[in-house]
A and B are shown apart, each in its own frame.
Chain A
Amino acid sequence: MRSLRIGLLLGFRQIQRANFWTTTLIIFVMMLTFLNLIAVSGILVGLIAGSERAVQEKSLGDIIITPLTNEEEILQTETIRRILDTIPEVTSYSIRYQQGVQIAANYKTRRDFNIEPNVIGTRAVGIDPGAENTVTGLSENVVEGEYLDPNESGYILIGALNLDRYTAGFADITGSLEDVYPGDSVRATINGASREFTVKGIVNAKAGGVASFVYLPEKELRRLSNSASRDANEIAIRLEDKNIETANTVKAVLVNQGIDSFARVRTFQEALPKFITDIKQTFNILGTFIGAVGIIVASITIFIIIFINAISRRQQIGILKGIGIDRRAIEVAYVLQSAFYALTGSLLGALVTYGILIGYFDRNPIDFPFSDGILVAEPMGTLYRFLILFVITLFAGFVPAWIIVKQNTLNSILGRK
């Protein structure tokens, strides 16, 4: 206890009397280390979190209902619809019908029949434009032209990835339509039945297959495919709260109501494409690795700082021991300095992360081809990483102090080796 008291006094005074700019520089290094630990891995994870968020908001909804494994359609779709109407947490849902479709463009101007027709195969999604827009905000993803009007017929939305000008570099692999713009006519063919549609708009989004499909009102899709069935292929559900806890609760309610006998009910997390979860795991490992390198660099930095500090005060340390100050008190003084650097640097790093960076990346996501990257820094994860940094910094401060303090007292006083 006495050693602690003396150590705190010595350490506090050393910090207080230290050169302002040196202290500022050390704290700045610690802040950068903290940012390296939190923000760099947070951005890596945020790339995938951004993708997850986009898939949840623009494609899957908070809960997604799909056909049972051996079925092509959701059984008893009308029954499910009635159940959904009774659940208060469900704010909206979109019933989707899907069919394989062939879309042909520029067929009216095709003069040379030796040239390949401008045709692609894709999936047509039949939607209620109003309901779909409420659940996924599809209209916000219209990058050219306009969104579907529920009162009109004969219009179609085309996903951007079906168009040559949006898939530069990939067109040869996936096939794409050339020179298709809002207002142009395209011909949709399902099971041999064809109908001409006017392109109302082009849809583009970095989420799931949103930009891969074509969209048309569900009645028009069922009419074109000559299907009398009212059983859908997907029901995307939007809840009051977007968090996973609410999704799990509502999923349990749906399962209790027996919906799982007709269809597969999954939360957005369960339905995420496997490649996203795989990348997330990989980026987590990568983030941890980068963080570990950051911690090692920080600990070496602190080690060097404390070592130089302690060795330049070797004679003073010898004299302190000489007049009877316990070596633990001297060690505490240096550990306190390390703790001060780690705490102050981390505090500033946390302020920058939570006060500036998270908000900045939310407003200005990093534009990656497959997602809009945000910065993810969960408070518990941040606390955990801070504790690791803190403990290692204390250790890095203690070791050089211990090395210097354990030297022979008289040799230290006289400056002998």
Chain B
Amino acid sequence: MSIINATNIQRKFGEGNLTTHVLKGINMTVEEGEFVAIMGKSGAGKSTLMYQLSVLDEPTEGEININGTNVIQLTEKEKTEFRLNTLGYVFQNYALVPDLSAEENVMLPLLMRGYDWTKAKATACTAIDGVGLEGKYANLPAELSGGEQQRISIARAVAGKPKILFADEPTANLDTVSGTQVIALIAQVNKKENQTIVMVTHEREYAMGCDRIFHMEDGVIVSIEQLT
């Protein structure tokens, strides 16, 4: 059963002669529990596609259905709620709130979902334990390494058990060892929790654990590589 269904996604920037056509009619589906990667050269449009699929941006044309909801028709407020309850994000720059401890960063979306403080704290600690950072609950992001910050970012993304996890080049700022650990963690989440994962990456070695790879070039999907 497909959890993401995108039809004829087009994204243009600018107006008139200065218009840039970044996505040129993308059609794609992602099945529930699937781990897919979007790959392509710089400027191919892979991040732009992920922003459309993850409801952070709105396509110029086309339709996106996620978990049975036509997200194009949602208001800004509804999109925020949808992102909170259905989607999880891992950004390449970790995107942690610097003033909050690791534990509080993970608790933040849980509290927003309506968890009480105690339940949010317990869930956050479990998620942090799950990414192998036991005992780092009270550390501020500045007190963690890049790899550790990205793992906290993953804990934040998965703690509320979202339907889909979007990861935008999660290894871009990490060394090889940390990058491998992060990818292994994401794959583990996919296997253990049967969570749908959409990941944008440059590096093929990190995409090898995926079910499928969407290869993009110049705003279109040129091939779909089935790995499993």
CA distance A217 to B114 in the complex (A): 86
Find out whether the CB atom of B51 lies under 8 angstroms from the CB atom of A324.
Answer: no
CA distance A317 to B133 in the complex (A): 26
Q: Which of A3, A316, A327, A410 contacts B97 (CB 8 A)?
A: A316
CA distance A9 to B57 in the complex (A): 28
Find out whether the CB atom of B99 lies under 8 angstroms from the CB atom of A321.
Answer: no
Tell whether B80 is near chain A: CB-to-CB under 8 Å. Answer: yes
Q: Mark B84-101, 1 if CB is under 8 A from A, else 0.
A: 110111010001011110
Q: Which of B87, B98, B112 contacts A2 (CB 8 A)?
A: B112
Is chain A's binding surface mostly helix, strand, loop or mixed?
helix
CA distance A48 to B112 in the complex (A): 56
Q: Which of B56, B87, B97 contacts A10 (CB 8 A)?
A: B97
Find out whether the CB atom of A323 lies under 8 angstroms from the CB atom of B84.
Answer: yes
CA distance A6 to B81 in the complex (A): 15
Find out whether the CB atom of A410 lies under 8 angstroms from the CB atom of B112.
Answer: no
Q: Mark A318-339, 1 if CB is under 8 A from B, else 0.
A: 0111111111010000000000
Find out whether the CB atom of B91 lies under 8 angstroms from the CB atom of A327.
Answer: no
Please count how many residues in chain B sit with their CB below 8 Å of the partner chain's CB atoms: 29
CA distance A36 to B88 in the complex (A): 50
Q: How far is the CB of B49 from chain A (nearest CB, A)?
A: 13
Find out whether the CB atom of A324 lies under 8 angstroms from the CB atom of B100.
Answer: no
Closest chain A residue, CB of each to CB of B94? A319
Find out whether the CB atom of B97 lies under 8 angstroms from the CB atom of A320.
Answer: yes
Tell whether A109 is near chain B: CB-to-CB under 8 Å. Answer: no
Tell whether B156 is near chain A: CB-to-CB under 8 Å. Answer: yes
Interface-located stretch among A11-19, A186-194, A220-228? A11-19
CA distance A17 to B113 in the complex (A): 25
B89 contact set on A, CB distance < 8 A: 322-323
CA distance A410 to B49 in the complex (A): 13
Tell whether A409 is near chain B: CB-to-CB under 8 Å. Answer: yes
Q: How far is the CB of A316 from chain B (nearest CB, A)?
A: 6
Find out whether the CB atom of A410 lies under 8 angstroms from the CB atom of B57.
Answer: yes
A180 contact set on B, CB distance < 8 A: none
A325 contact set on B, CB distance < 8 A: 80, 84, 108-109, 112
Tell whether A165 is near chain B: CB-to-CB under 8 Å. Answer: no
Closest chain A residue, CB of each to CB of B13? A416
Find out whether the CB atom of B80 lies under 8 angstroms from the CB atom of A6.
Answer: no
Find out whether the CB atom of B99 lies under 8 angstroms from the CB atom of A16.
Answer: yes
Find out whether the CB atom of A324 lies under 8 angstroms from the CB atom of B112.
Answer: yes
Find out whether the CB atom of B85 lies under 8 angstroms from the CB atom of A324.
Answer: yes
CA distance A63 to B75 in the complex (A): 72
B140 contact set on A, CB distance < 8 A: 17
B57 contact set on A, CB distance < 8 A: 410
CA distance A34 to B76 in the complex (A): 40
Find out whether the CB atom of A410 lies under 8 angstroms from the CB atom of B51.
Answer: yes
Q: How far is the CB of B58 from chain A (nearest CB, A)?
A: 9
Q: How far is the CB of A299 from chain B (nearest CB, A)?
A: 25
Closest chain B residue, CB of each to CB of A408? B57
Tell whether B3 is near chain A: CB-to-CB under 8 Å. Answer: no
Contact status of A10 and B111, CB under 8 A, knowing A327-B80, A409-B56: no
Tell whether A413 is near chain B: CB-to-CB under 8 Å. Answer: yes
CA distance A17 to B88 in the complex (A): 27
Q: Give A1-54 interface residues, CB cut-off 8 Å to B.
A: 2-3, 5-6, 9-10, 13-14, 16-17
Q: Give B56-90 interface residues, CB cut-off 8 Å to A.
A: 56-57, 77, 80-85, 87-89
Q: Which of A2, A319, A321, A413 contacts B111 (CB 8 A)?
A: A2
B108 contact set on A, CB distance < 8 A: 6, 9, 320, 323, 325
Q: Mark B105-145, 1 if CB is under 8 A from A, else 0.
A: 00011011110000000000000000000000000100000
Find out whether the CB atom of B98 lies under 8 angstroms from the CB atom of A17.
Answer: yes
Find out whether the CB atom of A17 lies under 8 angstroms from the CB atom of B91.
Answer: no
CA distance A324 to B156 in the complex (A): 12
B156 contact set on A, CB distance < 8 A: 323
B77 contact set on A, CB distance < 8 A: 326
Find out whether the CB atom of A324 lies under 8 angstroms from the CB atom of B114.
Answer: no
Q: How far is the CB of B2 from chain A (nearest CB, A)?
A: 23
Contact status of A13 and B100, CB under 8 A, knowing A319-B95, A323-B83, A326-B80: yes
Tell whether B104 is near chain A: CB-to-CB under 8 Å. Answer: yes
Closest chain B residue, CB of each to CB of A1? B114
B98 contact set on A, CB distance < 8 A: 17, 316
Interface centre among A2, A320, A321, A324 (most CB of B within 10 A): A324
Q: A-B pairs with the 4 shortest C-beta distances?
A: A324-B84, A13-B99, A319-B95, A17-B99
Can you offer 20 A-B residue contacts whose CB atoms are under 8 A? A2-B113, A10-B97, A10-B100, A13-B97, A13-B100, A16-B99, A17-B140, A316-B95, A321-B80, A323-B84, A323-B88, A323-B89, A324-B81, A324-B83, A324-B85, A326-B112, A327-B80, A409-B56, A410-B56, A413-B56
Interface, chain B (partner A; CB < 8 A): 51, 56-57, 77, 80-85, 87-89, 91, 95, 97-100, 104, 108-109, 111-114, 140, 156-157
Interface, chain A (partner B; CB < 8 A): 2-3, 5-6, 9-10, 13-14, 16-17, 315-316, 319-327, 329, 409-410, 413
| Known contacts A10-B99, A410-B57, then 20 further A-B pairs from the complex at CB < 8 Å, ordered by chain A residue | A2-B111, A5-B111, A9-B100, A9-B108, A9-B111, A10-B100, A13-B104, A14-B99, A17-B98, A316-B95, A319-B95, A322-B89, A323-B95, A324-B83, A324-B84, A324-B112, A325-B109, A326-B80, A329-B112, A409-B56
